[in-house]
Amino acid sequence: MKFYMTPGSCSTGIHILLEEIGLVFEAYIVNLVKGDHLKPEYLAINPNGTIPTLLRDDGLALTDFHSIAVWLAETYPRRKLLPESADAREAALAAMHFCVQHIHGEGFRRVFTPERYVGRQADVEADVAAIKAEGREIVASALVAVDAELAGKDYVAGGFSLADAALFYVEFWADKTGMTLPRNCLAHYERMKTRPAVRQVLAEEGYRS
């Protein structure tokens, strides 16, 4: 398999799942700053020009966090990336979706790419600052909600699951952008960093755990 990733991005969550399973794969770095994701050779694999992308052995490309994570969980059930009970499974999937679609898609997207939301106001600089602030507020509020769900738990849905990989990358972003993680989220973040797969991924991607 071929894994297209950008260090320190949402692909870090998938990288963690790949290492948790122990899969052998070829890693390809997609430099977003240089526009690698918009080059014809990459768009031929992932027409959306997004990361992560997992090109399976059968040639099928999975081109978003959710599809890759669920495929990994269902293809390698012994790793228990999804809980066995229906309620816990739904909780894990819902938490993953909340992290990817809301915390990342609504919050951090405003923080990292505020220009997407800039209107036609004359004061673009002030507008960008307001959009970033709005994004940070969305993230902070969402993490408070996640924090409440984590009360009394080591992981989101009992044992480690795909939801924890998704939560970790947004916690990682919060940490790296100077945000204060709520108590239970901070405990989860620190617990995740003790997992061998996470430590390996952070080292491979150039970060100190």
Which CATH number applies to 2-79? 3.40.30.10
pLDDT at 177: 97
167-179 residue pLDDT tens: 999 999 999 999 9
What stretch(es) of the chain map to CATH 3.40.30.10?
2-79
pLDDT at 209: 60
Q: Does domain 86-195 have CATH number 3.30.70.20?
A: no
pLDDT at 39: 95
Residues of the chain under the 70 pLDDT cut: 120-123, 209
Contacts of 54 (CB under 8 A, 6+ apart): 1, 2, 3, 4, 14, 25, 61, 62, 68, 71
Q: What is the pTM of this model?
A: 0.94
pLDDT at 116: 86
pLDDT at 117: 86
Strand ranges, E, within the chain: 2-5, 26-29, 53-55, 61-62
What stretch(es) of the chain map to CATH 1.20.1050.10?
86-195
| Under 8 Å between Cβ of 52 and 69 | no
